[in-house]
């Protein structure tokens, strides 16, 4: 795992935003670490422990956009997502994220955005979740509201969250329904309108930028 973290850190410093050149990115090794803009994380589905995953393979139905699945292996490089703000805000890398904030998740490897719309998902017929766009192409279908479960106000690694899609009002959802023709036992990711136990996610492995407050005190 240390090798994969090292590789991701090098990628951040060489190819992502200029803010990384003056920041100290670090691997989260304990609970309670804050999730900040610019951090690269894996999202773990609480109930099944699968990670939110994408790869350059289109759906064979629905939108035909890049597919999003749940992946069982912890060390897969296609399960990293960069936490981004809405483009209209003044938020910057290192800022903390409060409950109710709208974020975007950019797939690190393909640069596309976690997206949803009214197409039907392949297995359950719920709302399809896909990857769409690129660095310079994003729309409101990429907007997700962070809803923290419990009393917490700021998103931290050990907090249970829901991601509520702005355009469709669907919650990012998974379940144990798996694709028959995809290697590795990948399971469906979709959106559903109701709050359910299968809507809960936690930030897992990743490279986390320190908060702007902690950088200012260095």
pLDDT at 32 over 90: no
Which of 191, 189, 128, 197 has its CA nearest to residue 160? Answer: 197
Answer yes or no: is 217 within a domain.
Answer: no
Q: 9 or 105: which carries more pLDDT confidence? A: 105
Contact between residue 155 and residue 208 where contact means Cβ atoms under 8 Å apart: no
Confidence at residue 207, expressed as pLDDT on a 0 to 100 scale? 93
Answer yes or no: is 218 within a domain.
Answer: no
Count how many domains the chain has: 1
The boundaries of the domain holding residue 158 are 2-210
Q: State both tokens at 137.
A: 């192409």
Confidence at residue 185, expressed as pLDDT on a 0 to 100 scale? 87
CATH, residue 143: 2.80.10.50
Q: State both tokens at 146.
A: 């962070």
Answer yes or no: is 216 within a domain.
Answer: no
pLDDT bucket at 183, cuts 50 / 70 / 90: low
Answer yes or no: is 137 within a domain.
Answer: yes
Confidence at residue 162, expressed as pLDDT on a 0 to 100 scale? 98
**Overall pTM > 0.95:** no
The mean pLDDT of the chain is 87
pLDDT at 107 over 60: yes
Calculate the CA 62 to chain-centre distance: 22
pLDDT bucket at 120, cuts 50 / 70 / 90: very high
Answer yes or no: is 26 within a domain.
Answer: yes
């Amino acid at each position: 795992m240390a090798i994969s973290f090292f590789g991701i850190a090098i990628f951040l410093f060489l190819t992502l935003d200029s803010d990384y050149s003056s920041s100290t990115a670090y691997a989260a090794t304990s609970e309670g670490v804050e999730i900040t803009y610019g951090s690269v994380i894996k999202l773990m589905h609480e109930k099944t422990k699968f990670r939110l995953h994408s790869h350059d393979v289109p759906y064979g139905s629905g939108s035909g956009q890049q597919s999003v699945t749940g992946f069982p292996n912890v060390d897969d490089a296609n399960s990293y997502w960069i936490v981004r703000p809405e483009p209209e805000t003044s938020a910057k890398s290192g800022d903390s994220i409060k409950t109710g904030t709208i974020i975007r998740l950019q797939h690190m490897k393909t640069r596309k955005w976690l997206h949803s719309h009214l197409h039907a998902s392949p297995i359950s017929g719920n709302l399809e979740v896909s990857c769409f766009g690129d660095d310079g192409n994003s729309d409101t279908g990429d907007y997700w509201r962070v809803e923290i479960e419990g009393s917490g106000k700021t998103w931290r690694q050990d907090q249970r969250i829901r991601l509520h899609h702005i355009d469709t009002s669907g919650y990012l959802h998974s379940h144990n329904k798996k694709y028959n023709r995809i290697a590795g036992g990948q399971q469906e990711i979709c959106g559903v309108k109701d709050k359910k136990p299968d809507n809960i996610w936690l930030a897992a492995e990743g490279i986390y930028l320190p908060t702007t407050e902690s950088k200012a005190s260095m």
